[in-house]
Amino acid sequence: MRKWIITALIMALVVGGYLLSRPRIDFRDFADKVVEQDWLVNLKKVDAIEFLDGGGNFADHEASRGKDLDKNIVRPLVNRLKTDAQLEVIAVIDQQPNRAISMAARLPEDRERLLLVKRIIKDADDAFPGVILRQYGYHWMYFEVLDEMTAKQLHAEEVVEE
C-alpha cells in the first residue's frame, strides 16, 4: 500500500511538472505584436471608413464571386464599431494601395465597451453566411472576412472565438 501511494505521488509530480513546464503561446500577446511591431511600423494605415468610401477593397472580390462583401458586411460593421463602440478602425494596406490586408482597432480599456465590441462583431458574424475571423489581443483586435464558400473550404466555420 505504501509503495502505491509513493508511486502515485511521484506520478502526480511528474505529470504536474510536465504540464507546468510546457511552452504556452499567448495568442493575445501575439496579436498585439503583429499590429504594434509589424503593421503599425511597416505598413500604411488609413481610416477604414474613408478607405472603403474612397473605393478601397478589403474582402476578396474574386473569391466572393461577385458579392460585394465590403458594401454589405464590412462597411456596416466598421460603421457600427465606430458609432456604437467609439472605435477608430484602420485599414492596413500592404503593397496594393487600394487593397487592405486587414482591419484593426485599438481595444477600449473598459470592460463594458470591450464586451460591446465583441458583441457587435459576433452579431455581424452570426448574421453573415460566411465567417468574420477575428483575433483579440490585450490592446488591439483585427478581423478578416471570408465568404461562405471560402470559409467552408478552409473549415473556418469551425473556428471558435476565444
Segment 67-104, tens digit of pLDDT:
588 888 999 999 999 999 999 999 999 888 888 999 99
The answer to whether position 14 is within a domain reads no
Instruction: Sort residue 55 into left (φ over 0), alpha (ψ -120 to 50) or beta.
Output: left
The answer to whether position 64 is within a domain reads yes
The answer to whether position 40 is within a domain reads yes
- Domains contained in the chain, number: 1
CB neighbours of residue 106 within 10 Å: 15
108 versus 148: which is more confidently predicted? 108
pTM of the model: 0.78
Distances (CA, A) of 114 to 73, 79, 83, 86: 21, 16, 14, 11
41 versus 5: which is more confidently predicted? 41
CB 90 within 8 A of CB 105: yes
Beta bridge partners of 16: none
The answer to whether position 132 is within a domain reads yes
| Domain with 67 in it | 25-158
Segment 21-64, tens digit of pLDDT:
666 788 889 999 999 999 999 999 999 999 999 988 887 655 55
Q: Supply the pLDDT for residue 26.
A: 86
CB 48 within 8 A of CB 90: yes
Q: Cell numbers 458609432 label which residue?
A: 83
The answer to whether position 7 is within a domain reads no
Per-residue pLDDT at 8 exceeds 60: no
Length of the chain: 162
